[in-house]
Amino acid sequence: MKKILITVLLIPILTIIIALTTYNIELNDYLNQEEHPASKNNKINELTTEVFIIGTTHFETDAIKRHHFYQYLDSISPTVILYEGDSSTVRRIVKKTDYFSRFMDAFKKGKRVEKPVVLKYLKNNPDCMLLPYEWELRNKYHRKHKLRKRSKEMLNMVIRLYRDSLLTKDQSEIVHKFLNLNNTLLNIDNGTVKDLNNITTDSILKKRQHYVYKDIPEIAKERKELVKYYDFIPIHMSYWDTRNKAMAQNILKQIQHNPNKTIVVLTGSYHRYYLIEELKQYESDYDFSVKSI
């Protein structure tokens, strides 16, 4: 009985050790890989603040790998990198104490992009600062409202009604356009870093998110089949604006605290258009320029 108990206790411990060891070996291999030198960004005037908004994929795709983002980042040569994480997350990354995150990443199918790329850049450029800009209440908000799960359920129910031909003509047309946009994005995700970071993609993503957080929830509000989501729909609809505006304000604070720097904002590509639009409103007030690449 004692041996069985010891075995039961050892299995999860060994699993954690093996997972973390495997992850760290893979990460260190990547960090030690040499990169082809990139053409550097030449600032004409050092007494200016330039803010580059780089849309990323959270995981590698068939076409977009870590080294593509690293070369893109290296070509800009930032002195400050703003990371899509809250203050505690970024603190753990910098101190290399993000053990739980590393453990979870070890079981992901794909390879994470942003964190390894940032760690490699910091290793090669130790004077660069890594700072947070995420909405500090994001994780709490997600947990409180079960946001990811309930949003996905609600959207899928509307799509199911569409596929079962139960929506009105106008409602069906909205869902049809949304699904077509999603198909377009599949091609972009399998493109290049520049495919993610251009005006055309920004425009597509802006339309796509409008469907997700405005048009489709409006359909849900009109359908008796989704009555159990009636209280949740306003929470879902307000989330996108609330989070992006909070991130933009946090970026502005970092810009104020780091004048005359070259700043890169690493963000999920779906946020890029929103952050660019928000930040451009404050360029003259805060004396910086937004570079959309």
Phi and psi of 113, rounded to 5°? -105, -60
Query: Of the candidates 166, 185, 27, which has an alpha carbon nearest to the alpha carbon of residue 93?
Result: 27
3-state secondary structure of 247: helix
> If you write DSSP's letter for every residue of 216-236 in order, what string do you get?
HHHHHHH-GGGGGGTTTHHHH
pLDDT along the chain (293 residues), means of 10: 61 59 61 62 66 94 92 96 96 88 74 94 96 97 97 98 98 97 85 91 96 98 97 98 98 96 97 97 95 79
Query: Of the candidates 249, 281, 242, which has an alpha carbon nearest to the alpha carbon of residue 265?
Result: 249
What pLDDT does residue 37 have? 57
Distance CA 239, CA 235 (A): 6
- pTM of model > 0.85: yes
107 and 19 Cβ atoms separated by less than 8 Å: yes
What pLDDT does residue 190 have? 77
Phi and psi of 36, rounded to 5°? -65, 135
What pLDDT does residue 29 have? 61
What pLDDT does residue 107 have? 73
What pLDDT does residue 247 have? 98
What pLDDT does residue 44 have? 45
Distance CA 202, CA 159 (A): 24
Token pair 């450029």 is at which residue? 125
Q: 258 to each of 50, 51, 80, 131, 287, how far by Cα in Å? A: 11, 11, 8, 11, 11
The shares of helix, strand and coil residues in the chain, as percent rounded to the nearest 5, are 65, 10, 25
Identify the bridge partners of residue 51 per DSSP, sorted by sequence position.
263, 290
Number of CB atoms found within 10 A of residue 183's CB: 8
Distance CA 174, CA 215 (A): 7
Residue type, 79: T
